[in-house]
Structure 1
Amino acid sequence: MSSEQSPEPSTSDAEPPAPEPPRQRILLLVVVAVLAYAVDLVTKIVATATLEGEEPIRILGGAVYLQLVRNPYAAFGMDFGGTWILAIVAMGVVGAIIWFARRLRSPGWAVGLGLVLAGALGNLTDRIFRAPGPLHGHVVDFISAFEPNGSFFPVFNGADSAITIGAVLIVVLSLMGRDYDGSTTKSRKEQEKEQEQEQEQQQAGEDKA
Protein backbone atom coordinates (compact mmCIF):
# COMPACT_ATOMS: atom_id res chain seq x y z
CA MET A 1 0.00 0.00 0.00
CA SER A 2 1.24 3.42 -0.82
CA SER A 3 1.09 5.82 2.07
CA GLU A 4 -0.35 9.19 1.35
CA GLN A 5 1.81 12.11 2.30
CA SER A 6 0.43 15.51 3.08
CA PRO A 7 1.76 18.12 0.67
CA GLU A 8 4.37 20.34 2.15
CA PRO A 9 3.59 24.03 2.08
CA SER A 10 5.35 25.84 -0.71
CA THR A 11 8.03 28.16 0.54
CA SER A 12 7.47 30.37 -2.47
CA ASP A 13 3.85 30.97 -1.40
CA ALA A 14 4.73 31.77 2.20
CA GLU A 15 5.00 35.48 2.80
CA PRO A 16 7.84 36.67 5.06
CA PRO A 17 6.65 38.06 8.38
CA ALA A 18 6.38 41.81 8.56
CA PRO A 19 9.26 43.39 10.44
CA GLU A 20 8.46 44.53 13.93
CA PRO A 21 8.32 48.27 14.57
CA PRO A 22 11.81 49.56 15.48
CA ARG A 23 10.80 50.54 19.00
CA GLN A 24 14.29 50.11 20.45
CA ARG A 25 15.87 52.29 17.77
CA ILE A 26 13.20 54.97 18.23
CA LEU A 27 13.76 54.84 21.98
CA LEU A 28 17.51 55.22 21.47
CA LEU A 29 16.94 58.21 19.18
CA VAL A 30 14.61 59.82 21.74
CA VAL A 31 17.00 59.25 24.66
CA VAL A 32 19.96 60.70 22.74
CA ALA A 33 17.88 63.68 21.58
CA VAL A 34 16.54 64.42 25.07
CA LEU A 35 19.98 64.22 26.72
CA ALA A 36 21.70 66.35 24.09
CA TYR A 37 18.85 68.89 24.12
CA ALA A 38 19.04 69.09 27.93
CA VAL A 39 22.80 69.71 27.80
CA ASP A 40 22.32 72.47 25.23
CA LEU A 41 19.49 74.10 27.20
CA VAL A 42 21.29 74.01 30.56
CA THR A 43 24.59 75.31 29.16
CA LYS A 44 22.79 78.21 27.45
CA ILE A 45 21.01 79.11 30.69
CA VAL A 46 24.34 79.07 32.58
CA ALA A 47 26.05 81.06 29.83
CA THR A 48 23.44 83.81 29.79
CA ALA A 49 23.50 84.01 33.60
CA THR A 50 27.29 84.16 34.01
CA LEU A 51 28.81 85.53 30.79
CA GLU A 52 26.57 88.52 30.04
CA GLY A 53 28.77 91.61 29.76
CA GLU A 54 31.92 89.70 30.77
CA GLU A 55 35.23 89.47 28.96
CA PRO A 56 36.04 86.13 27.27
CA ILE A 57 37.09 83.49 29.80
CA ARG A 58 40.14 81.44 28.78
CA ILE A 59 40.00 77.72 29.66
CA LEU A 60 41.81 74.52 28.66
CA GLY A 61 45.05 76.40 28.10
CA GLY A 62 43.51 78.68 25.50
CA ALA A 63 41.90 75.90 23.46
CA VAL A 64 38.48 77.31 24.37
CA TYR A 65 37.23 80.79 25.26
CA LEU A 66 33.81 81.26 26.84
CA GLN A 67 31.96 84.39 25.84
CA LEU A 68 28.32 85.24 25.22
CA VAL A 69 27.26 86.04 21.66
CA ARG A 70 23.66 86.41 20.51
CA ASN A 71 23.60 85.08 16.98
CA PRO A 72 20.82 86.03 14.53
CA TYR A 73 22.33 83.79 11.87
CA ALA A 74 22.60 80.04 11.27
CA ALA A 75 25.00 77.56 12.86
CA PHE A 76 28.57 78.89 13.19
CA GLY A 77 27.41 82.39 12.22
CA MET A 78 26.46 81.56 8.62
CA ASP A 79 23.95 84.02 7.15
CA PHE A 80 21.20 82.57 4.97
CA GLY A 81 19.09 85.70 4.79
CA GLY A 82 16.47 85.75 7.52
CA THR A 83 16.03 84.36 11.02
CA TRP A 84 12.45 83.29 10.31
CA ILE A 85 13.66 81.24 7.34
CA LEU A 86 16.10 79.41 9.59
CA ALA A 87 13.32 78.70 12.09
CA ILE A 88 11.10 77.21 9.38
CA VAL A 89 14.00 75.12 8.05
CA ALA A 90 14.65 73.82 11.57
CA MET A 91 10.97 72.88 11.90
CA GLY A 92 11.21 71.00 8.62
CA VAL A 93 14.31 69.11 9.80
CA VAL A 94 12.61 68.15 13.07
CA GLY A 95 9.50 66.95 11.23
CA ALA A 96 11.52 64.96 8.71
CA ILE A 97 13.51 63.17 11.42
CA ILE A 98 10.35 62.32 13.38
CA TRP A 99 8.74 60.91 10.23
CA PHE A 100 11.92 59.04 9.29
CA ALA A 101 12.32 57.49 12.75
CA ARG A 102 9.75 54.74 12.10
CA ARG A 103 12.03 53.30 9.41
CA LEU A 104 15.11 53.07 11.62
CA ARG A 105 16.80 49.73 12.25
CA SER A 106 20.39 50.93 12.78
CA PRO A 107 21.56 52.02 16.26
CA GLY A 108 24.29 54.18 14.73
CA TRP A 109 21.78 56.05 12.60
CA ALA A 110 19.52 56.41 15.64
CA VAL A 111 22.32 58.12 17.58
CA GLY A 112 23.25 60.35 14.65
CA LEU A 113 19.68 61.43 13.96
CA GLY A 114 19.06 61.91 17.68
CA LEU A 115 21.98 64.36 17.86
CA VAL A 116 20.82 66.24 14.77
CA LEU A 117 17.28 66.39 16.17
CA ALA A 118 18.54 67.74 19.50
CA GLY A 119 20.63 70.39 17.78
CA ALA A 120 17.79 71.51 15.55
CA LEU A 121 15.41 71.68 18.52
CA GLY A 122 17.97 73.52 20.66
CA ASN A 123 18.49 76.36 18.21
CA LEU A 124 14.81 76.38 17.25
CA THR A 125 13.92 76.95 20.92
CA ASP A 126 16.09 80.05 20.91
CA ARG A 127 14.53 81.35 17.71
CA ILE A 128 11.02 80.95 19.09
CA PHE A 129 11.42 82.07 22.71
CA ARG A 130 14.32 84.53 22.82
CA ALA A 131 14.46 88.22 21.93
CA PRO A 132 13.70 90.04 19.74
CA GLY A 133 10.60 87.89 19.15
CA PRO A 134 9.05 84.60 17.97
CA LEU A 135 10.78 83.14 14.88
CA HIS A 136 13.25 86.04 15.06
CA GLY A 137 15.03 85.13 18.31
CA HIS A 138 18.80 85.22 18.46
CA VAL A 139 20.60 81.96 19.24
CA VAL A 140 22.86 81.89 22.30
CA ASP A 141 26.45 81.01 21.34
CA PHE A 142 29.24 80.91 23.89
CA ILE A 143 32.14 78.70 22.72
CA SER A 144 35.03 80.26 20.79
CA ALA A 145 37.78 77.85 19.74
CA PHE A 146 41.47 78.82 20.13
CA GLU A 147 40.86 82.56 19.88
CA PRO A 148 38.29 84.88 21.51
CA ASN A 149 35.58 86.70 19.52
CA GLY A 150 35.41 83.92 16.96
CA SER A 151 38.69 85.05 15.38
CA PHE A 152 39.80 81.48 14.58
CA PHE A 153 36.40 79.82 14.18
CA PRO A 154 32.86 81.21 14.54
CA VAL A 155 31.42 81.12 18.06
CA PHE A 156 29.08 78.16 18.53
CA ASN A 157 27.05 76.27 21.12
CA GLY A 158 26.08 72.76 22.19
CA ALA A 159 23.33 72.48 19.58
CA ASP A 160 25.78 73.27 16.76
CA SER A 161 28.14 70.62 18.13
CA ALA A 162 25.35 68.02 18.28
CA ILE A 163 24.34 68.72 14.69
CA THR A 164 27.94 68.46 13.49
CA ILE A 165 28.72 65.24 15.37
CA GLY A 166 25.43 63.64 14.30
CA ALA A 167 25.94 64.58 10.65
CA VAL A 168 29.54 63.29 10.64
CA LEU A 169 28.40 60.00 12.20
CA ILE A 170 25.72 59.55 9.54
CA VAL A 171 28.21 60.31 6.74
CA VAL A 172 30.71 57.81 8.18
CA LEU A 173 28.03 55.12 8.42
CA SER A 174 27.00 55.81 4.82
CA LEU A 175 30.60 55.56 3.62
CA MET A 176 30.91 52.25 5.49
CA GLY A 177 27.88 50.99 3.60
CA ARG A 178 25.60 50.82 6.65
CA ASP A 179 22.09 52.00 5.89
CA TYR A 180 19.39 53.35 8.21
CA ASP A 181 17.40 50.10 7.99
CA GLY A 182 20.29 48.06 9.40
CA SER A 183 21.31 46.57 6.07
CA THR A 184 24.70 46.93 4.44
CA THR A 185 25.71 47.53 0.85
CA LYS A 186 27.25 44.03 0.73
CA SER A 187 24.11 42.32 1.99
CA ARG A 188 21.95 44.18 -0.53
CA LYS A 189 24.25 43.16 -3.37
CA GLU A 190 24.13 39.53 -2.21
CA GLN A 191 20.34 39.65 -2.11
CA GLU A 192 20.20 41.12 -5.60
CA LYS A 193 22.57 38.42 -6.83
CA GLU A 194 20.43 35.68 -5.27
CA GLN A 195 17.31 37.13 -6.86
CA GLU A 196 19.02 37.22 -10.25
CA GLN A 197 20.06 33.55 -9.86
CA GLU A 198 16.51 32.56 -8.91
CA GLN A 199 15.13 34.38 -11.93
CA GLU A 200 17.66 32.66 -14.18
CA GLN A 201 16.71 29.24 -12.74
CA GLN A 202 13.02 29.95 -13.21
CA GLN A 203 13.64 31.09 -16.77
CA ALA A 204 15.66 27.94 -17.47
CA GLY A 205 12.86 25.77 -16.10
CA GLU A 206 10.29 27.52 -18.26
CA ASP A 207 12.46 27.07 -21.35
CA LYS A 208 12.78 23.31 -20.68
CA ALA A 209 9.04 23.00 -20.21
Structure 2
Amino acid sequence: MLKWVWISIVTVILDQLTKWMAVANLDEGVRNAVFDHLNFTLAYNYGAAFSFLGNQGGWQRWLFVGLSFVVSGYIIHWLRKLERTEKGTAIALALVLGGALGNGIDRLISGRVTDFIDMYVDLDVFFLNNGHFAIFNIADIAITIGAILLVVISFFPEAEKETTDA
Protein backbone atom coordinates (compact mmCIF):
# COMPACT_ATOMS: atom_id res chain seq x y z
CA MET A 1 0.00 0.00 0.00
CA LEU A 2 3.02 2.27 -0.25
CA LYS A 3 1.66 3.27 -3.65
CA TRP A 4 -0.41 5.88 -1.77
CA VAL A 5 2.69 7.72 -0.52
CA TRP A 6 2.41 9.97 -3.58
CA ILE A 7 -0.42 11.70 -1.69
CA SER A 8 2.04 12.44 1.12
CA ILE A 9 4.61 13.79 -1.33
CA VAL A 10 2.05 16.08 -3.01
CA THR A 11 0.87 17.24 0.42
CA VAL A 12 4.42 18.12 1.52
CA ILE A 13 5.12 19.97 -1.75
CA LEU A 14 1.85 21.97 -1.57
CA ASP A 15 2.40 22.69 2.10
CA GLN A 16 5.97 23.91 1.69
CA LEU A 17 5.16 25.89 -1.46
CA THR A 18 2.20 27.70 0.13
CA LYS A 19 4.22 28.43 3.28
CA TRP A 20 7.02 29.87 1.15
CA MET A 21 4.49 32.03 -0.72
CA ALA A 22 2.96 33.22 2.57
CA VAL A 23 6.35 34.22 4.00
CA ALA A 24 7.27 35.99 0.75
CA ASN A 25 4.02 37.92 0.42
CA LEU A 26 2.54 38.49 3.88
CA ASP A 27 3.56 40.53 6.90
CA GLU A 28 3.41 38.74 10.22
CA GLY A 29 0.19 39.40 12.14
CA VAL A 30 -1.44 41.47 9.39
CA ARG A 31 -4.81 40.14 8.23
CA ASN A 32 -5.28 40.11 4.47
CA ALA A 33 -8.88 39.51 3.48
CA VAL A 34 -9.34 36.86 0.79
CA PHE A 35 -13.14 36.71 0.94
CA ASP A 36 -15.85 36.55 3.60
CA HIS A 37 -14.68 34.52 6.58
CA LEU A 38 -11.18 33.88 5.24
CA ASN A 39 -8.00 35.88 5.73
CA PHE A 40 -4.38 35.11 5.03
CA THR A 41 -2.49 36.04 8.17
CA LEU A 42 1.17 35.08 8.58
CA ALA A 43 1.85 33.57 11.99
CA TYR A 44 4.55 31.35 13.46
CA ASN A 45 3.86 28.53 15.89
CA TYR A 46 6.76 27.48 18.10
CA GLY A 47 4.71 24.78 19.81
CA ALA A 48 2.16 22.17 18.83
CA ALA A 49 -1.55 22.64 18.16
CA PHE A 50 -2.87 25.95 19.51
CA SER A 51 0.75 26.86 20.44
CA PHE A 52 0.89 24.15 23.11
CA LEU A 53 4.36 24.41 24.75
CA GLY A 54 5.20 27.29 22.40
CA ASN A 55 6.85 29.41 25.07
CA GLN A 56 9.18 26.80 26.55
CA GLY A 57 12.54 28.15 25.39
CA GLY A 58 13.35 25.82 22.51
CA TRP A 59 13.50 22.25 23.82
CA GLN A 60 9.99 21.61 22.48
CA ARG A 61 11.31 22.13 18.94
CA TRP A 62 13.35 18.94 19.15
CA LEU A 63 10.56 17.06 20.92
CA PHE A 64 8.12 17.89 18.10
CA VAL A 65 10.72 17.25 15.36
CA GLY A 66 11.42 13.83 16.85
CA LEU A 67 7.76 13.10 17.38
CA SER A 68 6.82 14.02 13.80
CA PHE A 69 9.49 11.74 12.35
CA VAL A 70 8.74 8.85 14.74
CA VAL A 71 5.04 9.11 13.89
CA SER A 72 5.92 9.29 10.19
CA GLY A 73 7.99 6.10 10.50
CA TYR A 74 5.12 4.36 12.26
CA ILE A 75 2.66 5.48 9.57
CA ILE A 76 4.94 4.12 6.83
CA HIS A 77 5.14 0.82 8.73
CA TRP A 78 1.33 0.80 9.08
CA LEU A 79 0.91 1.53 5.35
CA ARG A 80 3.17 -1.39 4.47
CA LYS A 81 1.00 -3.77 6.51
CA LEU A 82 -2.35 -2.73 5.04
CA GLU A 83 -4.28 -5.05 2.80
CA ARG A 84 -4.93 -3.97 -0.78
CA THR A 85 -8.62 -3.48 0.02
CA GLU A 86 -7.90 -0.88 2.73
CA LYS A 87 -7.66 2.03 0.32
CA GLY A 88 -9.51 4.50 2.52
CA THR A 89 -7.17 3.83 5.43
CA ALA A 90 -4.17 4.14 3.11
CA ILE A 91 -5.35 7.52 1.80
CA ALA A 92 -6.10 8.77 5.31
CA LEU A 93 -2.68 7.67 6.57
CA ALA A 94 -0.96 9.23 3.55
CA LEU A 95 -2.63 12.56 4.35
CA VAL A 96 -1.55 12.40 8.00
CA LEU A 97 1.96 11.41 6.90
CA GLY A 98 2.23 14.34 4.49
CA GLY A 99 1.01 16.76 7.13
CA ALA A 100 3.35 15.42 9.81
CA LEU A 101 6.31 15.66 7.44
CA GLY A 102 5.33 19.17 6.26
CA ASN A 103 5.21 20.57 9.77
CA GLY A 104 8.20 18.47 10.84
CA ILE A 105 10.29 20.00 8.05
CA ASP A 106 9.33 23.49 9.26
CA ARG A 107 10.36 22.70 12.82
CA LEU A 108 13.59 21.06 11.72
CA ILE A 109 14.66 23.93 9.44
CA SER A 110 13.43 27.00 11.33
CA GLY A 111 12.25 25.84 14.74
CA ARG A 112 8.69 26.96 14.07
CA VAL A 113 5.71 26.11 11.90
CA THR A 114 4.49 28.69 9.41
CA ASP A 115 0.72 29.22 9.47
CA PHE A 116 -1.32 31.56 7.30
CA ILE A 117 -4.92 30.38 6.79
CA ASP A 118 -7.18 32.37 9.11
CA MET A 119 -10.86 31.40 9.04
CA TYR A 120 -13.43 33.14 11.17
CA VAL A 121 -17.13 33.48 11.88
CA ASP A 122 -18.97 36.57 13.05
CA LEU A 123 -19.79 35.06 16.42
CA ASP A 124 -18.15 35.79 19.74
CA VAL A 125 -18.12 32.22 21.00
CA PHE A 126 -16.24 31.57 24.24
CA PHE A 127 -13.51 29.45 22.61
CA LEU A 128 -12.97 31.70 19.61
CA ASN A 129 -11.03 34.94 19.67
CA ASN A 130 -13.56 37.38 18.21
CA GLY A 131 -14.74 34.61 15.93
CA HIS A 132 -11.24 33.64 14.80
CA PHE A 133 -10.11 30.06 15.03
CA ALA A 134 -6.45 29.09 15.11
CA ILE A 135 -4.38 30.08 12.09
CA PHE A 136 -3.31 26.95 10.23
CA ASN A 137 -1.69 25.61 7.03
CA ILE A 138 -2.02 22.90 4.36
CA ALA A 139 -0.25 20.32 6.56
CA ASP A 140 -2.78 20.93 9.34
CA ILE A 141 -5.65 20.49 6.88
CA ALA A 142 -4.19 17.20 5.62
CA ILE A 143 -3.74 15.88 9.17
CA THR A 144 -7.28 16.87 10.10
CA ILE A 145 -8.89 15.32 7.00
CA GLY A 146 -6.80 12.15 7.43
CA ALA A 147 -7.72 11.85 11.10
CA ILE A 148 -11.43 12.36 10.38
CA LEU A 149 -11.28 9.70 7.65
CA LEU A 150 -9.60 7.27 10.05
CA VAL A 151 -12.33 7.84 12.64
CA VAL A 152 -15.12 7.40 10.08
CA ILE A 153 -13.49 4.23 8.70
CA SER A 154 -13.14 2.85 12.22
CA PHE A 155 -16.94 2.94 12.54
CA PHE A 156 -17.39 0.98 9.29
CA PRO A 157 -14.38 -1.37 8.99
CA GLU A 158 -16.30 -4.07 7.13
CA ALA A 159 -17.33 -1.62 4.39
CA GLU A 160 -13.71 -0.78 3.56
CA LYS A 161 -12.60 -4.42 3.39
CA GLU A 162 -15.34 -5.45 0.97
CA THR A 163 -13.95 -6.04 -2.48
CA THR A 164 -15.68 -5.77 -5.77
CA ASP A 165 -14.83 -7.82 -8.82
CA ALA A 166 -16.28 -5.26 -11.21
Common fold, TM-score beyond 0.5?
Answer: yes
- Once the two structures are superposed, the pairs formed by residues 174-185 of structure 1 within 5 Å of their partners are 174-178=154-158, 183=161
Q: What do the CA deviations read for 1:100-128 (whole angstroms, capped 9, x no partner)?
A: 12111211011100000000000010111
1:85 to 1:104, Cα distance in 2 relative to 1, 3 A: same
How far the C-alpha of 1:54 sits from its partner, in A, is 6.9
Q: Gaps (5+ residues) in structure 1?
A: 1-24, 131-136, 185-209
The CA distance in 2 between the partners of 1:66 and 1:113, in whole Å, is 28
How far the C-alpha of 1:88 sits from its partner, in A, is 1.2
The CA distance in 2 between the partners of 1:60 and 1:178, in whole Å, is 41
Supply the AA of the counterpart residue of 1:46. M
- Once the two structures are superposed, the pairs formed by residues 1-209 of structure 1 within 5 Å of their partners are 25-28=1-4, 30-53=5-28, 55-61=30-36, 63-79=37-53, 82-105=60-83, 106-130=86-110, 137-146=111-120, 151=129, 152-178=132-158, 183=161
SS in 2 for 1:154: coil
How far the C-alpha of 1:154 sits from its partner, in A, is 1.1
Which of structures 1 and 2 has the bigger CA Rg?
Answer: 1
Contact 1:116 1:164 in 2 (8 A): yes
Question: Given the two structures, how large is their TM-score scaled by the length of structure 1?
Answer: 0.65
Contact 1:59 1:65 in 2 (8 A): yes
The CA distance in 1 between the partners of 2:135 and 2:44, in whole Å, is 10
- Aligned-pair Cα RMSD in Å: 2.0
The number of residues matched between the two structures is 148
The CA distance in 2 between the partners of 1:99 and 1:79, in whole Å, is 29
Question: Given the two structures, how large is their TM-score scaled by the length of structure 2?
Answer: 0.81
Contact 2:28 2:43 in 1 (8 A): no
Q: Which sits farther off after the overlay, 152-161 or 162-171?
A: 152-161
Q: Give 4+ residue runs of structure 1 displaced > 2 Å after superposition.
A: 52-55, 75-81
